Amino acid sequence: MSKLIFGLLVFGLLTGVVLASVALAEGTPLHYLEESISRYEDYQTTNPDMPFDLVVALINANVDKGPYTDIETVSDPSFIGLLLNKSFAIPRSYVPDDLIRLPGGGQLRREAAEAFAEMRDVARNAGLNLAVRSSYRTHGSQIGSYNIVLNDYGREAAERNVARAGHSEHQLGLALDILHISGTTGPITSVRFERTNEYTWLLEHGHEFGFILRYPQDTINIHGFVYEPWHWRYVGVEIASKMYEEGIGTLEEYYGRYLAPGVRAKLFPPRMTHPTILISEW
């Protein structure tokens, strides 16, 4: 039996190498990093139907590493397009210095707040009502949010539904939990939000104001969180529009294609100029 298992493991590894080699023969993705080839091959082995360019992007974003292991703490969390998940963290002490209050309560960083106000007004002119359920949270309040789910539903549910403190986009002041409030039915929250016209409108127009659906359906294997139709993240119009136009579903994939340090160094060498200066400077 042990020989059979060993044989299957070897076959799986060789399959990953062959798939990766075939993909490279068809053209090397621009975000391909030579130093990560063994990780690409391993991930391709366990995800044989995944396009190789997506494999490369996800590995560049450390998706193959276990949740909350080998964590990289970001020293400067002020970049609007920052990737924050179970592999990347921000300091406990981080508080955005440009938070402003939203109508009806809550806070966001100024740029995100102004973008949401514009988006809400445009949606209102279309007969839609975007309201905020939750916005900026402190490190301490995120601990409380996690512990509530942990105590009520257990660790597995907590890990799938709530980010640990230091890993929450809400602490960035760039994330919103959006709901619809109807004068007849009251607030429509949670997964029911996906059945609203507001949600459909956001999917089509959110990028025009710099917002992305952060945890789409069937992407828990990428970032570790369940589908959250209410959770929208501000990343700026440039990034959000590029994700929309290229069909990039998660910020992890965008990071792996354009923002990972090795990719940035490859795409934007020191002597090379590029109009997308935002990406090369971060």
Quick: pLDDT tens for 186-205.
445 556 889 999 999 999 99
Mean confidence (pLDDT) of the chain: 86
Least confident of 20-29, 173-182, 238-247, 272-281: 272-281
Quick: pLDDT tens for 120-142.
999 999 999 999 999 999 999 99
Which DSSP string corresponds to the chain?
-HHHHHHHHHHHHHHHHHHHHHHHHT---TT--GGGHHHHHHHHHH-TTS-HHHHHHHHHTTTTSPTTSSPEEPS-TT-TT---SSSEE--TT---TTEEEPTTS-EEEHHHHHHHHHHHHHHHHTT---EEEE----HHHHHHHHHHHHHHH-HHHHHHHSPPTTS-GGGGT-EEEEEEEETTTEEE-GGGGGGSHHHHHHHHHGGGGTEEESS-TT-HHHHS----TTEEEE--HHHHHHHHHHT---HHHHIIIIISHHHHHHHS-TT---S-HHHHH-
Q: What percent of the chain has pLDDT over 70?
A: 83
Quick: pLDDT tens for 160-190.
999 999 999 999 999 999 987 765 454 455 5
What pLDDT does residue 192 have? 82
What pLDDT does residue 274 have? 42
**Does 146 score more than 90 pLDDT?**
yes
Quick: pLDDT tens for 206-231.
999 999 999 999 999 999 999 999 99
Quick: pLDDT tens for 48-63.
999 999 999 999 999 9
Segments making up each domain of the chain, as ranges? 1-60, 68-281
Quote the pTM value. 0.85
What pLDDT does residue 183 have? 54
Does the domain made of 68-281 have the CATH classification 1.20.1290.10? Answer: no
Please give the positions annotated as active site. 228
